[in-house]
Amino acid sequence: MISSFLRVDHCQPLDGYVLVRRSGRKEARRAKKDLEMEVEQSQGLADNTVIAKVNKAVWDLDRPLEEDCTLELLKFEDEEAQAVYWHSSAHIMGEAMERVYGGCLCYGPPIENGFYYDMYLDEGGVSSNDFSSLEGLCKKIIKEKQAFERLEVKKETLLEMFKYNKFKCRILNEKVNTPTTTVYRCGPLIDLCRGPHVRHTGKIKTLKIHKNSSTYWEGKADMETLQRIYGISFPDPKMLKEWEKLQEEAKNRDHRKIGRDQELYFFHELSPGSCFFLPKGAYIYNTLIEFIRSEYRKRGFQEVVTPNIYNSRLWMTSGHWQHYSENMFSFEVEKELFALKPMNCPGHCLMFDHRPRSWRELPLRMADFGVLHRNELSGALTGLTRVRRFQQDDAHIFCAIEQIEDEIKGCLDFLRTVYSVFGFSFKLNLSTRPEKFLGDIEVWNQAEKQLENSLNEFGEKWVLNPGDGAFYGPKIDIQIKDAIGRYHQCATIQLDFQLPIRFNLTFVSHDGDDKKRPVIVHRAILGSVERMIAILTENYGGKWPFWLSPRQVMVVPVGPTCDEYAQKVRQQFHDAKFMVDVDLDPGCTLNKKIRNAQLAQYNFILVVGEKEKTSGTVNIRTRDNKVHGERTLSETVERLQQLKQSRSKQAEEDF
């Protein structure tokens, strides 16, 4: 077993070789002896290893190796190791929850930033006042160094063991289709779990419980209400302190708070999950759409407008009705069932199919900003990040299979252009054919090769995720990194071989074959405009770049005698299509007006007094109090127009 290598204990060596991958190096080693020598030379290897990967599958360190294999030793920095570390931490917290509340544990998975555990309580609930006692128990469990033991048990034995917990019995009856399944034991806790886990609870060096909420069993509103407790853990207390600082920063940047403070948008109980964008928020919304629209014009996309409501027969053809109908708003019209569209692709298929198509028309790039609706559960609605009504910068490219490479290159260049304007870095993952896929394997292989070629030529680092593609085509996942180090998935580049088959889409090829099947490339750069606004709000902390700012210019008169000139200045900037206001409040001093404008994040403050009125000028300073001095009105308008059109990230400095 791997832990024997790490502890330099005796174990039965394998007959073959283990391929060890560590710190980016591959080395073929005899299974036991050479690994022991390496451990002796590397004191921290055992302490730093969270989990192993055996033949690309995560593997308990105490689980015996079953065959010759490829072995990787993962540290906490690896995403898969973090998931294991947080999963084990969830079990520790679950053990503490059972001791404190005595309820029924449900699911306890790792999540993107930590872990949670759900519990059903017959009565009462969870309070933040309970956190300190729960944490105290967790520390005790950690100190005991309880081993995580993997056990394979018969299903009927487990049904008897968990007869007190109807939720575990549901999982066994509904999700376990084999005679046996695995459980993990640590201390008194035994839980249904595929694992793997860290070797013992002592590997968790610091753990914090930070949030609780209520939820429904499996997210279904008609099921039992559960109590959910969230936690985070790290192998180093310093990492927890850094995380706490990040949480405080994220709290200050919360888009819901900034949106309220800056009067950008709000939500109302009479339309849950559908945002009301106030004038200044609508400016941001429309400016983002116009940005993408301007890129569409450069890149050969044609914008279309499609219906919001379709007969359910469309969704049956596309397959969405069979797999997605519970997330759609549907209703009856004249004894026919209709639904609001949750995506644009089926409508675009109808557009492609409304007349015969020729190879000369391909690639055909359709773009659509149509309104979409998805019936998200009310408990899942979270500001602008999870809504029911939204728009996407949605486009579908209909192309021949040999055109895929060039189209993907264009998509990648598109997203780099847009994200560089926002100041985002990003990472790329290529997800390839899963075990269960539809279509011709040769088509898959050819398409995946073209995706690889496109990514290699693009020049940015990318990671291969074998077998992680959708059943209907490979995809490129793109995650952007914001100002405080968080990653967000926004852009999508997804190949689809199945939708053209479902809609029987064909084109006439150059050699006269009128049954040639196109490939569809689904792509979006912003993703949901609503979600992108949430990300941008938090990324900038409400300090909007000039071109996107809903408060670009504030005109401040020195005194009442300059009010008329200030109004004239405001009108000139308004006519030049700037977001401009004027402060004529007689109850505020000049310094107070300037300070108010800076706090409100006006990019430029234009002060006008008697001197400026006489000479037709303005005195310019920025929200960061950088003084640019006196300029003519026409010169200022022209310069700000240049900065706006260039989408400068630091217009206040560049002025």
Give helix 404-422 / helix 441-458 axis angle, nearest 10°.
40
In the chain, the N- to C-terminal Cα span, in Å, equals 65
Active-site residue (options: 280, 341, 365, 522): 522
Active-site residue (options: 392, 403, 494, 601): 392
Active-site residue (options: 168, 341, 365, 374): 374
Active-site residue (options: 433, 475, 523, 623): 475
Alpha helices in 253-385 (DSSP H): 255-261, 279-298, 312-318, 320-324, 345-353
**Of the candidates 4, 541, 513, 555, which has an alpha carbon nearest to the alpha carbon of residue 255?**
541
Query: Under 8 Å CB-to-CB from 271, ≥6 apart: which residues?
Result: 389
Alpha-carbon distance of 173 to 166, in angstroms, equals: 10
**Of the candidates 107, 62, 71, which has an alpha carbon nearest to the alpha carbon of residue 203?**
62
Alpha-carbon distance of 373 to 538, in angstroms, equals: 24
Do the Cβ atoms of 475 and 497 come closer than 8 Å? no
**Of the candidates 393, 206, 427, which has an alpha carbon nearest to the alpha carbon of residue 299?**
393
Annotation marks residue 595 as catalytic: no
Residue 452 structure tokens: 């690889």
Annotation marks residue 22 as catalytic: no
Residue 85 structure tokens: 């570390």
Annotation marks residue 475 as catalytic: yes
Active-site residue (options: 396, 516, 593, 631): 396
Annotation marks residue 522 as catalytic: yes
Alpha-carbon distance of 285 to 526, in angstroms, equals: 11
Q: Beginning with the edge strand found earlier in the chain, give each strand of the sheet holding 553-557 in spatial order.
A: 580-582, 553-557, 604-608, 617-622, 627-632
Annotation marks residue 345 as catalytic: yes
Active-site residue (options: 368, 394, 482, 583): 394
By 3-state DSSP, what share of the chain in percent is helix, strand and coil, each rounded to 5?
40, 25, 35
Annotation marks residue 199 as catalytic: no
Annotation marks residue 268 as catalytic: no
Backbone angles phi, psi at 120, to 5 degrees: -95, 130
Active-site residue (options: 69, 186, 275, 345): 345
Q: Which residues are catalytic?
A: 345, 374, 392, 394, 396, 475, 522
